[in-house]
Chains A and B, each alone.
Chain A
Amino acid sequence: MEAVAGIAGKLAALRRRRVSVLVVLGLLLVAAVVIAVALGAVYVPITTSARIILSRVPLLGRLVDATWSPVQETIIISVRLPRVLLALLVGMGLALAGAIFQGIFRNPMADPGIIGSSQGAALGATFALFFGISFGWGGLTAVQLFAFVGAFLAVLLVYFIARAGGRVSVAYLLLVGFALSSFLSSIVSLLAVMSEDRLHNIFFWLMGGLGTGSWDAVLAVLPFIVVGAAVSAFYARDLNLLMLGEERAAQLGLETRRFLWIMFVVAAVVVGAAVSVSGIIGFVGLMTPHIVRLLTGPDHRYLIPGSLIGGGLFLVLADTLARTVIAPNELPVGIVTAFFGAPFFIYLLKRRRHAIA
Chain B
Amino acid sequence: MPSPEWPRVEGKRWSTLEAREVHAAYYRDDVVAGMNIEVSAGDFIAIVGPNGSGKTSFLKTLSRALRPREGVVLLEGEDVYGLPARRVARNMALVPQDSSLSFGFTALEVVLMGRNPHLGRLQGAGPEDLELARQAMERANVWHLADRQVNELSGGERQRVIIAQALAQDTGLLLLDEPTQHLDINHQLSLLEMLSSMCSRGVAVIMVMHDLNLASQYCDRIIVMLKGREYARGEPAQVLTAGVLREVFGVGSIVTRHAVTGRPHVVFLPTSDAGAATGPRVHLICGGASGASFMRELLERGCYLTAGVLNLGDGDEEVGRSLEIRMATESPFSHISDAAHRDNLELVRQADAVVLSDVHVGPGNLVNLEAAATALEWGKRVYLFSPRPVEERDHTGGAARELYKRLLDMGAVECREKEELIELVSGEGEP
Contact = CB atoms under 8 A, between A and B. Distances in A.
Given A8-B127, A299-B105, A354-B152, A248 B99 contact: yes
A109 interface: no
A252 B114 contact: yes
A250 B64 contact: yes
A243 B169 CA distance: 18
Nearest to B110: A244
Interface stretch (A60-68, A92-100, A139-147, A233-241): A233-241
A255 B64 contact: no
B152 A241 contact: no
A294 to B, nearest CB: 9
Interface in A202-260: 234, 237, 240-241, 243-245, 247-248, 250-256
By size class, the interface of chain B is: 35 or more
Contacts of B116: 237, 241, 252-254
Contacts of A7: 108, 130, 133-134, 146
Contacts of B94: 251
A161 interface: no
A10 B99 CA distance: 26
Interface in B96-138: 96, 99-105, 108-110, 113-114, 116-117, 121-122, 125, 127, 130-131, 133-134
Contact of A11 (B63, B90, B108, B152): B108
Interface in A60-107: 106
B251 to A, nearest CB: 32
A357 B100 CA distance: 13
Contact of A253 (B99, B117, B130, B146): B117
B104 A298 contact: yes
A309 B134 CA distance: 35
A326 interface: no
Contacts of A254: 85, 116
B96 A248 contact: yes
Nearest to B66: A247
B130 A245 contact: no
Given A245-B99, A252-B114, A1 B85 contact: no
B131 A298 contact: no
A299 B106 CA distance: 10
B197 to A, nearest CB: 21
A251 B95 CA distance: 9
Interface in B305-331: none
Contact of B100 (A1, A4, A244, A250): A244
A297 B104 contact: yes
B85 A250 contact: yes
B113 A244 contact: yes
B89 A10 contact: no
Contacts of A299: 105, 109
Contacts of B93: 251
A72 to B, nearest CB: 45
B104 A355 contact: yes
A3 interface: yes
A122 to B, nearest CB: 32
Given A4-B134, A250-B64, A252-B114, 8 more contacts: A7-B133, A244-B113, A245-B100, A251-B65, A251-B96, A252-B89, A252-B169, A253-B116
Interface of A: 1, 3-4, 7-8, 10-11, 106, 234, 237, 240-241, 243-245, 247-248, 250-256, 293, 297-299, 354-355, 357
10 contacts: A7-B108, A248-B96, A251-B96, A252-B114, A252-B165, A297-B104, A298-B103, A298-B105, A299-B109, A355-B104
Interface of B: 60, 63-65, 84-86, 88-90, 93-94, 96, 99-105, 108-110, 113-114, 116-117, 121-122, 125, 127, 130-131, 133-134, 146-147, 149, 151-152, 165, 169
